[in-house]
A and B are shown apart, each in its own frame.
Chain A
Amino acid sequence: MSKTTAYIIKRLVLAILTVWVVVTVTFFVMHAVPGGPFLGEKAVTPEVLAALEAKYGLDKPLIEQYFTYLRDVFTRFDFGPSLKQRGQDVIDIIATGMKTSAKLGVIAAFSALAVGVVLGSVAALRRNRFIDKFIMVITTAFVSMPSFIMGSLLLIVFAVKLQLLPANGAAANGLILPIITLALYPTAYITRLTRSSMLDVLGQDYIRTAKAKGVSGMKIIFGHALKNSLIPVITYFGPMLAYIVTGSLVVERIFSVPGIGRAFVNSIINRDYPLIMGTTIILAALIVIMNLVSDILYKVVDPRINLE
């Protein structure tokens, strides 16, 4: 146990270091990209530009801006104001966006996990039968179909033609279509992953031993096979969850969902520096944490894995 604790601490320190590197690289790359937050089709006067730069501290040397930013974020958790959406703080924009994206992502990810594991196990246990082939064909289609096609297809069929569900994420039941769109790819992927890993496990010696010992089929599957075949699924699930909750631009655009993905992309287009930094930090932190959690879950599922 103490080994695990030491490991977790080591990984946490590494995680902070990783986020810091991401912050630093993003900060300087972002400022090196041509353009600026106050550029528009209609140029502002030099006086106005100077006033804006002074107001947001952009007139200071870059290195000074960098240290000011780090200090504000790490000591006061202050991500600063948005340069484009005047009057709004970055943290509020992120909180609003994350609220929707997280809801969408968590539901989509866990549905994908539940459905994927079941379908994958069924396919593995009924190997080469009709049901297995059927599942494999469907999942191959979903894995290879990009979400903008899937989303548009669902939109046209269910929202425009049949008018069963709204096309707009803000409406009641509006999140159903985006959740399905988001969940299809991971569901298909998890199904395939579970199937192949289950097949692998079912061929192992210890399963044969269990069978020879007369252990019941159910017990073999749930007690031995499933647990061990979930390792690759866990590896995939952690980072997938992080990606999916940090917003999918495509799905958010197609269904007008007010998530964080759109805010992130728009912040880059607008060169809204504080918002770029804020979203990057949150995104990086989530991914790092999810990776860590899935590594630890590994160990729990399979004690043979050495966390050192």
Chain B
Amino acid sequence: MKKTLALVLALCMVFALCACGKTAAPAETPAEEVAPASLAVCLASEPDTLDPALNSAVDGATMVAHLFSGLAKWSQNEEGALVIVSDLAKELVEGVVNEDGTVTYTYTLRDGAKWSDGKDVTAGDFEFAWKRAASEELAADYGYMFEIVKGYPNDLAVTAKDDKTLEVTLNNAVAYWNELLAFPTYYPVREDVVGSEAWATAPETYVCNGPYTISKWEHNSVIVLEKNANYIDADTVTMDVLEFYLSDDATAMQANFENGAWLMIDDVPTNEIANLKAKYPTEFVVAGQIGTYYVCWNVNENLLPETSTLTGVEAEAAEAEIRNAIALLYDRNYICEEIGQAGQVPASSFVAMGMTNPDGTEFYKTAGGNEDFYGYYDVSVEALEGNFASAVETLKKYYTYDEATGMFTDVPVLSYLYNTSDAHKAIGEYLQSAMASVGIEMSLVNQEWNTFLNTRKEGDYSVARNGWLADYNDPICFLDMWVSASGNNDVQYGRGEHAELAMYSIDLTPYGVDYVVENGTWAETYDVLISEIKACTDTENRYAMMHLAEDLLMSTGCIVPLYFYTDIYMIDDSIEGFFANPLGYKYFMNCTVAAAE
């Protein structure tokens, strides 16, 4: 009896466990079929979503770009340059300016565009998809990508005139409109497919219109894409099968790259960078990426010594000077070369490298208006000593300086907030030591990612690590985040005490806008400037005003750029036809893999 009971219990134990997994067949894993053209890569862990309207991640965007086809797309021309070309639109037409200043574009769809289930792609699908993506009801992270379209968010001015003709009206001319058409949020989806959000989580329900379809999706393990026979340009797709392995562990990625299982990986362990660069000189790639790593100060944090009598506007003006002086203490070349080690570029302005002026010159090279260097301070190695000396001179105006030790003695203790990560910590420690060299004490505080975001957003910090990556190639996406009401305004401009400080001046008359303010608040100056930029239809004036906005921003000293991001990845030498765009999306559809030697 006892033995039987023991057996039954032991069986129960095993059964209870097996029951947990009874829904699925054993994970006998990925396709072993040795298809002639198949490519295994790893970008990141499981994407949150592959619904083009809901996705807001770079790795998700890469997959969606292989699954969908919009009006325009990124392409590599014969010279190897990246260009936006028409995709499902017959051509990327010029807009027609209406009497009220709005601009209407009318696109004609190419013949023969089909969904993966064989149905025709119509202009109505675009109308539905755009209205859905922009709507408050869907609540998509990137819904604001339609902000420039008239009627945003709930009454978008986009209409399918017939099955082939799509008409859309923008509030004003937008320089980066064609680029938006190639953005995943602007891809079409079909109304009868996307009824339930679950449509985008399984191959059976996933209907798309791009180069590939999903043939297998093992959650958190692998997503396999297979060439879509119904794709309008199927003959241009050279890679038949793409396997996206799902992992966010850089060490695992490295191991799989080194043993040849994955031919492209989008991340490497930070402490292995130098080693990998030396070991795989042609396969370790450092690509440009439009983004800035920076330090942000809480504008409402008091920086003056207790003995200071300055208040209000005068105090804030002094603090701006102090923050800008401290920004000169950092050796950005050291940060890039010794800590980052991935080809980062020392930054002296906020709008990232990679953004261009209308004449094609780099935006960051014309920022700051200095003759001898780009940006707002000289970050060259040669300038280091001079910067240091001038920082000390400025700080002497406000703090007690002990000439014997070369230290300031009454700077309030600061704390530097960063999210837990070795790389951010190393930078924090460097900043700490640079400031300690003149007697400024800064403690380091690290928080887990989500808590960190919350603390920074709420402004419960004095100095914090920050970073921003562009969504599209226009400087406005670096500038409009600093208006008072913006959810990304971590500095707290125009909030709390800062809201009352009338100390900023702008004169927009040279740019055709009748607006002059002397000693206005942040809301009266910066906020107005940004809305004028958004409404401006003259490209020259618009860019001039964006430079003005950056000048105003940098004058506060609250934003201290450290470096411009780069995107590092490893790709096997045998792969040809691969390209990546400046937003970090990777394109594999035109790849070929040379046979192993």
Interface residues of A (CB under 8 A from B): 33-36, 39-49, 51-52, 55, 81, 84-89, 93, 95-100, 102-103, 105-106, 152, 155-156, 159-160, 163, 166-172, 174-175, 238, 241, 245, 253-256, 258-259, 262-263, 266, 269-271, 282, 286, 289-290, 293, 296-297, 300-301, 303
Q: Is B198 an interface residue (CB 8 A)?
A: yes
- A residues near B448, Cβ cutoff 8 Å: 269
Cβ distance A31 to chain B, nearest Cβ, rounded Å: 13
Query: Is there an interface contact between B249 and A256, defined as CB atoms closer than 8 Å?
Result: yes
- Taking CB atoms and an 8 Å cut-off, the chain B residues in 68-109 that contact chain A are none
Return the contact of A106 from the options B17, B26, B46, B49 (Cβ within 8 A): B17
- B residues near A171, Cβ cutoff 8 Å: 29-30, 261
Could you list 23 A-B pairs, sorted by A, with CB under 8 Å? A35-B454, A43-B488, A48-B136, A55-B139, A96-B219, A97-B220, A102-B17, A159-B255, A163-B260, A166-B259, A167-B255, A167-B261, A170-B30, A174-B29, A253-B247, A256-B252, A262-B220, A269-B448, A293-B13, A297-B9, A300-B5, A300-B6, A300-B9
Return the contact of A152 from the options B251, B259, B468 (Cβ within 8 A): B251
Query: Is there an interface contact between B2 and A39, defined as CB atoms closer than 8 Å?
Result: no
Given A88-B201, A289-B16, A253 and B249 touching (CB < 8 A)?
A: yes
Q: How many A-B residue pairs have CB under 8 A?
A: 199
Query: Is there an interface contact between A42 and B56, defined as CB atoms closer than 8 Å?
Result: yes
- B residues near A45, Cβ cutoff 8 Å: 143-144, 487
- A40→B48 CA distance, assembly (Å): 13
Return the contact of A258 from the options B141, B219, B457 (Cβ within 8 A): B219
| Minimum-distance CB pairs A-B, first 3 | A43-B487, A258-B220, A35-B450
Nearest residue, chain B, Cβ from A296: B9
Query: Is there an interface contact between B29 and A170, defined as CB atoms closer than 8 Å?
Result: yes
Given A35-B453, A42-B488, A289-B16, A172 and B259 touching (CB < 8 A)?
A: no
For B475-506 the 0/1 string (1 means CB < 8 A from A) is 00000000000111000000000000000000
Query: Is there an interface contact between B252 and A86, defined as CB atoms closer than 8 Å?
Result: no
Query: Is there an interface contact between A41 and B467, defined as CB atoms closer than 8 Å?
Result: yes
Q: Is B413 an interface residue (CB 8 A)?
A: no
Q: Is B267 an interface residue (CB 8 A)?
A: no
Query: Is there an interface contact between B27 and A99, defined as CB atoms closer than 8 Å?
Result: yes
Query: Is there an interface contact between B51 and A33, defined as CB atoms closer than 8 Å?
Result: no
Query: Is there an interface contact between B201 and A87, defined as CB atoms closer than 8 Å?
Result: yes
- A99→B12 CA distance, assembly (Å): 17
Nearest residue, chain B, Cβ from A51: B139
Q: Is B21 an interface residue (CB 8 A)?
A: yes
Cβ distance B20 to chain A, nearest Cβ, rounded Å: 4
- A residues near B251, Cβ cutoff 8 Å: 152, 155, 254
Knowing that A170-B245, A263-B220 touch, tell me 11 more A-B residue pairs with CB under 8 angstroms: A86-B51, A86-B54, A97-B220, A106-B17, A152-B251, A159-B256, A163-B259, A175-B27, A256-B256, A269-B449, A300-B6
Given A254-B252, A293-B13, A95 and B23 touching (CB < 8 A)?
A: yes
- B residues near A88, Cβ cutoff 8 Å: 198, 201, 219
For B444-471 the 0/1 string (1 means CB < 8 A from A) is 0000111101110100000000011101
Interface residues of B (CB under 8 A from A): 2, 5-6, 9-10, 12-14, 16-18, 20-21, 23-24, 26-30, 32, 45-46, 48-49, 51, 54, 56, 136-137, 139-141, 143-144, 153, 196-201, 218-222, 245-247, 249, 251-252, 255-256, 258-262, 448-451, 453-455, 457, 467-469, 471, 486-488
Cβ distance B250 to chain A, nearest Cβ, rounded Å: 10
- A106→B51 CA distance, assembly (Å): 36
Query: Is there an interface contact between A99 and B9, defined as CB atoms closer than 8 Å?
Result: no
Given A35-B453, A35-B454, A159-B255, A105 and B54 touching (CB < 8 A)?
A: no
- A255→B220 CA distance, assembly (Å): 12
Query: Is there an interface contact between A34 and B56, defined as CB atoms closer than 8 Å?
Result: no
- B residues near A41, Cβ cutoff 8 Å: 453, 467-469
- A168→B199 CA distance, assembly (Å): 28
- A residues near B486, Cβ cutoff 8 Å: 43
- A256→B218 CA distance, assembly (Å): 12
Interface SS of chain A: helix
Cβ distance B205 to chain A, nearest Cβ, rounded Å: 10
- A105→B13 CA distance, assembly (Å): 13
- A159→B255 CA distance, assembly (Å): 7
Cβ distance A162 to chain B, nearest Cβ, rounded Å: 9
Query: Is there an interface contact between A293 and B9, defined as CB atoms closer than 8 Å?
Result: yes
- A100→B5 CA distance, assembly (Å): 29
- A293→B455 CA distance, assembly (Å): 45
Cβ distance A3 to chain B, nearest Cβ, rounded Å: 13
- A108→B456 CA distance, assembly (Å): 43
Return the contact of B20 from the options A33, A89, A102, A156 (Cβ within 8 A): A102
- A98→B13 CA distance, assembly (Å): 15
- A residues near B30, Cβ cutoff 8 Å: 170-172
- A168→B220 CA distance, assembly (Å): 12
- A residues near B488, Cβ cutoff 8 Å: 42-43
Given A102-B17, A103-B26, A271-B450, A42 and B141 touching (CB < 8 A)?
A: yes
- A residues near B21, Cβ cutoff 8 Å: 95, 98-100, 102-103
Nearest residue, chain A, Cβ from B13: A293
Given A33-B451, A87-B196, A88-B198, A253 and B14 touching (CB < 8 A)?
A: no
Cβ distance B483 to chain A, nearest Cβ, rounded Å: 12
Cβ distance A92 to chain B, nearest Cβ, rounded Å: 8
- A169→B221 CA distance, assembly (Å): 8
- A86→B14 CA distance, assembly (Å): 33
Cβ distance B296 to chain A, nearest Cβ, rounded Å: 13
- B residues near A100, Cβ cutoff 8 Å: 21, 27, 221
Query: Is there an interface contact between A293 and B12, defined as CB atoms closer than 8 Å?
Result: yes
Query: Is there an interface contact between A39 and B457, defined as CB atoms closer than 8 Å?
Result: yes
Cβ distance B34 to chain A, nearest Cβ, rounded Å: 13
Query: Is there an interface contact between B261 and A52, defined as CB atoms closer than 8 Å?
Result: no
- A residues near B143, Cβ cutoff 8 Å: 45, 48
Nearest residue, chain A, Cβ from B20: A98
- B residues near A84, Cβ cutoff 8 Å: 48
- A residues near B258, Cβ cutoff 8 Å: 160
- A72→B21 CA distance, assembly (Å): 22
Return the contact of B261 from the options A87, A166, A259 (Cβ within 8 A): A166
- A224→B201 CA distance, assembly (Å): 56
Given A86-B54, A99-B23, A170 and B218 touching (CB < 8 A)?
A: yes
- A residues near B26, Cβ cutoff 8 Å: 103
Cβ distance B251 to chain A, nearest Cβ, rounded Å: 7
Query: Is there an interface contact between A168 and B252, defined as CB atoms closer than 8 Å?
Result: yes
Given A48-B143, A300-B2, A269 and B450 touching (CB < 8 A)?
A: yes
Query: Is there an interface contact between A43 and B457, defined as CB atoms closer than 8 Å?
Result: yes
- A40→B471 CA distance, assembly (Å): 14
Query: Is there an interface contact between B56 and A40, defined as CB atoms closer than 8 Å?
Result: yes
- A residues near B5, Cβ cutoff 8 Å: 300
Query: Is there an interface contact between B51 and A87, defined as CB atoms closer than 8 Å?
Result: yes
Query: Is there an interface contact between B252 and A87, defined as CB atoms closer than 8 Å?
Result: no
Nearest residue, chain A, Cβ from B205: A87
Return the contact of A52 from the options B23, B32, B139, B262 (Cβ within 8 A): B139
- A270→B49 CA distance, assembly (Å): 14
Cβ distance A68 to chain B, nearest Cβ, rounded Å: 20
- A residues near B48, Cβ cutoff 8 Å: 84-86
Nearest residue, chain A, Cβ from B10: A297
Query: Is there an interface contact between A34 and B261, defined as CB atoms closer than 8 Å?
Result: no
- A255→B219 CA distance, assembly (Å): 15
Cβ distance A222 to chain B, nearest Cβ, rounded Å: 14
Query: Is there an interface contact between B27 and A87, defined as CB atoms closer than 8 Å?
Result: no
- A269→B370 CA distance, assembly (Å): 44
- A271→B54 CA distance, assembly (Å): 18
- A271→B27 CA distance, assembly (Å): 29
- A101→B5 CA distance, assembly (Å): 27
